[in-house]
Amino acid sequence: MFSKYLTKIVALDNKWVKKLPVETLFTAFQKVVPLVIINVYLHLLIKLFFDPSAIVPAIFHIRLKHLFFAQNLQFLTSAFDYLILAFVAALWTKGYLEAKLDDLGHTKDELLPVLANFALALSYGFATYTYANQSAIYLIGVLFLTYLSNLSYVYLTKWTKGKLNDFGFAYLFWAATILALSTFLYSLIPSQVSQASFNALFSMDFFSHWYGLVLTAIFTPIAFVLGFAIPTDLTVSATDLSQVNANLNAVYQAVMAQLPHPQNPYSVLTTSALIGGVGSTLALTICLLFLKRQKLRRLGLWSLVPAVFDSNKILAYGLPLFFRPLMLLPMVLASTYGTVVTSLLIKFDFLRPTVFSVPIGTPHLLLAFFASQTPLDALLATVLILIGAILIYWPFAKQLEKEEANA
């Protein structure tokens, strides 16, 4: 039964991956992996050491003064995020246009569209960058505009039968139009969306029930795979949701008080559905370590430490996780599984939910152990969730290995 569904998904994945825009996009993703690795480790350094409420200075009682270079490092690392996106746009444009124009029998120099799309992606950074939204990058928006830009370039070339000069007025006008339009569209993005902070939404009562949480657990990996930024209200451990504050107040009044919102995004989703990042991808990283293909194992090794600290960016670009049907299913399953297990355990009083705030950078793997009032039960639940997630990912990881061997 399961293998039948798996075969169907693999067939769909194969078909999808072989489409020219997807194939060239995945190649672009994989080309930027070394850059992504540097970027992820820089983020990790800041998150663990240089943030004012980072976990390492907190635990070791180190009072780091506001270091000038730390601020600069933070600024540069955030700018680096956008640069990676710009490289993806440029590499994708080059790969896609080369192949597409070849098919159409036109020989063109792709430098202008490559530069235009590089600028298109970079201007997204200029339009939305603030210190607060480092992780809130909507890949989907930039890649969609890049794709439209590529299509329009192909149509223009087809329409003019490839007779126009590569840097002639017509192509320059095309590039200017693309850049002006994209800049205009970026200016329409509301600041709340660009910061991916939806405190009022997730503070709603709907998200204090299992059904709201399960729905979120299903949609979060889908949104991630489609390239949407994940709301920081779910990913950050120092959350300010009203349910969390109400629980905290209750606990401060009486230690083992009845909590007003035992199930909430923090106690269920952040704690159990995001171990290693969206889709509980720490489990996937562990699976990769046990594969025979060296390329996949190396990816697992590079992403192991970041995955412990909930960053799955290396896998997202390296496998990739983005726009990949084969990876979407286990991500949804692992995320939902963690949510359902934790919801049930809290509902039937097997464990006290995560209530306390923890320092920035605390791994979600240890969140329940740190911040629940029944730490050992919580740790046991986390181990149970992690093992379950590994079992969910294992057949899909083996499938990845097969595809890698066939490639």
Partner 1 sequence: MLKKMCSFPKKARSFWQQSARSSRIALVLTAIAVVVLAFLGRTWMLTEHQNDRAIQKSRIEPVIFVPGSSATIQRFNSLFTTLNEEDSGSKNHSVLKVQVNADGSLSYSGHLSSANRQPFIVIGFEKNQDNYPTIQADGQSMETVMSDLQSKYHFRSFSAVGHSNGGLIWTDYLENYYSSNNFHIRTLMTLGTPYNFSESSDTKKTTMLSDFIDGSDNLPTDLSVYSIAGSDDYTDDGNVNVQSVLSGKYIFQKKVAKYTQTTVSGDNAQHSKLPENPEVVNLIRELILDNKAGRRGLSTNQLKKEAPATDKDKN
Query: Per CB under 8 A, does 371 bind partner 1?
Result: yes
Q: What amino acid occupies position 355?
A: V
Of positions 290, 325, 377, 380, contacts partner 1 by CB under 8 A? 290
Return the closest-CA partner of residue 221 out of 360, 316, 340: 316
Q: Minimum distance between the CB of residue 297 and partner 1, rounded to whole angstroms?
A: 6
Return the closest-CA partner of residue 269 out of 312, 236, 223, 226: 236
Q: CA of 61: how far to CAs of 30, 53, 361, in Å? A: 40, 11, 15
Please provide the size of the chain in residues: 407
The piece of 129-137, 169-177, 293-301, 326-334 that touches partner 1 (CB under 8 A) is 293-301
Q: Is the dihedral of CA 256, 261, 267, 273 positive or negative?
A: positive
Query: Per CB under 8 A, does 301 bind partner 1?
Result: yes
Of positions 73, 164, 250, 305, contacts partner 1 by CB under 8 A? 305
Query: Per CB under 8 A, does 370 bind partner 1?
Result: yes
Q: Minimum distance between the CB of residue 170 and partner 1, rounded to whole angstroms?
A: 50
Query: Nearer to partner 1 by C-beta: 222 or 304?
Result: 304
Annotate 257-287 with b (16+ C-beta within 10 A) or e (fewer): eebebbbbbbbbbbbbbbbbbbbbbbbbbbb
Q: CA of 22: how far to CAs of 92, 137, 262, 301, 369, in Å? A: 9, 20, 43, 26, 41
Q: Minimum distance between the CB of residue 253 and partner 1, rounded to whole angstroms?
A: 8
The piece of 2-10, 32-40, 207-215, 368-376 that touches partner 1 (CB under 8 A) is 368-376
The piece of 100-108, 116-124, 248-256, 340-348 that touches partner 1 (CB under 8 A) is 248-256
Residue pair 334/286 in contact (Cβ under 8 Å)? The answer is no
Contacts of 28 (CB under 8 A, 6+ apart): 87, 88, 91, 92, 95
How many angstroms separate the CA atoms of 248 and 253, rounded?
Answer: 9
Q: What amino acid occupies position 114?
A: V
Query: Per CB under 8 A, does 343 bind partner 1?
Result: no
Of positions 116, 366, 385, 397, contacts partner 1 by CB under 8 A? 366
The piece of 192-200, 256-264, 365-373, 397-405 that touches partner 1 (CB under 8 A) is 365-373
Return the closest-CA partner of residue 133 out of 190, 86, 188: 190
Q: Minimum distance between the CB of residue 33 and partner 1, rounded to whole angstroms?
A: 18
Taking residues 77 to 116 in sequence order and writing x for each that binds partner 1 by CB under 8 A, - otherwise, the string is ----------------------------------------
Q: Which residues on adjacent β-strands are paired with residue 372?
A: 354
Query: Per CB under 8 A, does 394 bind partner 1?
Result: no
Structure tokens that stand for 350 in this block:
């097997």
Residue pair 178/163 in contact (Cβ under 8 Å)? The answer is no
Taking residues 306 to 325 in sequence order and writing x for each that binds partner 1 by CB under 8 A, - otherwise, the string is --x-----------------
How many angstroms separate the CA atoms of 72 and 385, rounded?
Answer: 38
Half-sphere exposure of 44 (CA within 13 A, CB side): 20
Query: Per CB under 8 A, does 250 bind partner 1?
Result: no
Q: Minimum distance between the CB of residue 209 and partner 1, rounded to whole angstroms?
A: 27
Query: Per CB under 8 A, does 358 bind partner 1?
Result: yes
The footprint of partner 1 (CB under 8 A) covers 55, 58-60, 252-253, 255, 286, 289-290, 297, 300-301, 304-305, 308, 356, 358-359, 362-363, 365-366, 369-371, 375, 379
